Amino acid sequence: MKYVIVLYAAGFIINAINPNLYYNWLMLDIDKLLQGQVWRLFTFIIQPVTTDNIFRILLMLYVNFMFGMLLESMWGSFRFNLYYFSGIFFTALAIVGIYIFTYLTLGYGYSYPLQLDYLNLTLFLAFAVTFPEQRFGFGGVQNGISMFMIIYLLAVALDVAQAFAISPYAGMVTLLTNLVWVAIFCLSPKGKYLAIGYGVLIGVEILQGFASGWLYGVITLIAIGFSLLNFLIFFISLKKKGFSPMNPARRAFQQSLRQQAARRAAGAAAARDMNRGKVINIYKPSDQKAMHKCAICGRTEKDDDTLEFRYCSKCNGSYEYCSDHLYTHEHRT
């Protein structure tokens, strides 16, 4: 995802210098590719960032980076790279499919400037399946104002202002749509509900495509269908490898995380009572060595008595991990 973020930055710079540079020389134009411009097979992945909402650009970079790094830490670099590069391959196939479709229906092939937006949206589905119980969003206002909250609210404010500058109707629609998403983020729903968010975004894309004409509607369906192929193929294979949320061992681990969170909440309540003057007896033996130690962060049960530790059966050696890193580390071979 670090390299994808660099490509986004490059697309923003290119579009600021010359908006036509991508479409004339970099996009995957099938006709010009057949004429020998083979570099287009690689340069089409540079995203031409056209929005003038700098906060939306920052939000897009932040969300893609956050989801991408979480998935990479869970799957490992190889599996994540395979997922993303196969998505790029299917995006290229979608451009070819659209070219063939327009050639059969219109009599000439049209190279649709399809970028990686639909591929990046599948990261929502990947997160929903990989982390179904993990909460996302603003994380609760009680934890303070996060960088995500600041960037998102600024992006929304500028979006609404630009929409009202176009027309009152566009402004009201944009305002109401964003208020719904703000409400969702404030509730901090579980990861599995991101699949619903993906469905809403894709549904809006399809409706807008058909609103522009049946041809654009079919092109949108082709692009979305190809963008889902890598998700379907990859998660069928991941399910066989035990990455499914329905895996009994993983479900037991998620249950232990919920119990751990409850104990931490109880400990925080006890600390607040102590600050209010209530006497609480806490005894922690200091003359005993720690029995457990996380191979990633180095924490022991003496640092936090609510931590749980497990050995990883896939690592080559006796490596023990805390509950925060058992499913997010790369296996040692």
Cβ distance 47 to 55 under 8 Å?
no
Asked whether residue 95 is domain-assigned, the answer is yes
Q: Are residues 257 and 300 in the same domain?
A: yes
Q: Are residues 207 and 256 in the same domain?
A: no
Asked whether residue 183 is domain-assigned, the answer is no
Alpha-carbon distance of 263 to 269, in angstroms, equals: 10
Alpha-carbon distance of 118 to 48, in angstroms, equals: 14
Q: Are residues 106 and 17 in the same domain?
A: yes
Q: Are residues 199 and 224 in the same domain?
A: yes
Asked whether residue 161 is domain-assigned, the answer is no
DSSP string, 126-151: HHHHHSTT-B-SS--GGG---HHHHH
Mark out the alpha helices in 188-213 (DSSP H runs): 194-211
Asked whether residue 177 is domain-assigned, the answer is no
* Confidence (pLDDT) at 146: 67
Collapse the DSSP code of 108 into the 3-class scheme (helix H, G, I; strand E, B; otherwise coil) and give the result: coil
CA–chain centroid gap for 164, Å, is: 29
Q: Are residues 52 and 201 in the same domain?
A: yes
Question: Which domain does 303 fall in, by range?
Answer: 247-266+290-333
pLDDT tens-place string over residues 62-101: 888 888 888 888 788 888 899 999 999 999 999 999 999 9
Cβ distance 244 to 251 under 8 Å?
no
Please give the tally of structural domains in the chain: 2
Amino acid identity at 37: Q
Alpha-carbon distance of 191 to 205, in angstroms, equals: 22
Cβ distance 152 to 139 under 8 Å?
no
Alpha-carbon distance of 43 to 289, in angstroms, equals: 56
Q: Are residues 58 and 42 in the same domain?
A: yes
pLDDT tens-place string over residues 228-243: 998 888 877 766 555 5
Amino acid identity at 201: L
Asked whether residue 87 is domain-assigned, the answer is yes
Q: Are residues 294 and 328 in the same domain?
A: yes
Report the predicted TM-score, pTM, of the whole model to 2 decimal places: 0.67
Alpha-carbon distance of 170 to 111, in angstroms, equals: 30
* Confidence (pLDDT) at 248: 54
